[in-house]
Amino acid sequence: MTEKLEDEGESLFEAPPMAEQERMCEAILFATAEPITVRELESRMPHGSDAAEALVHLRKRYEGRGVNLVKVGDAWAMRTAADLGFLMQRETIETRKLSRAATETLAIIAYHQPVTRAEIEEIRGVSVSRGTVDQLLEMEWIRFGRRKMTPGRPVTFVVTQTFLDHFGLESARDLPGLKELRSAGLLENRPPPGTMPQLGDGDEDAQEETSEGQNELFED
Sheet holding 142-144, edge to edge: 115-116, 156-159, 142-144
Residue ranges for the chain with pLDDT beneath 70: 1-13, 96, 170, 176-220
* Pairwise CA distance, residues 111 & 108, whole Å: 5
* Pairwise CA distance, residues 15 & 45, whole Å: 9
Nearest to 180 by CA among 160, 200, 205: 200
pLDDT digits (tens, 9 = 90+) for 87-126: 888 777 777 678 888 888 988 898 888 999 999 999 888 8
pLDDT digits (tens, 9 = 90+) for 120-147: 999 888 888 888 898 899 988 999 998 8
What is the predicted pLDDT for the residue at 31?
93
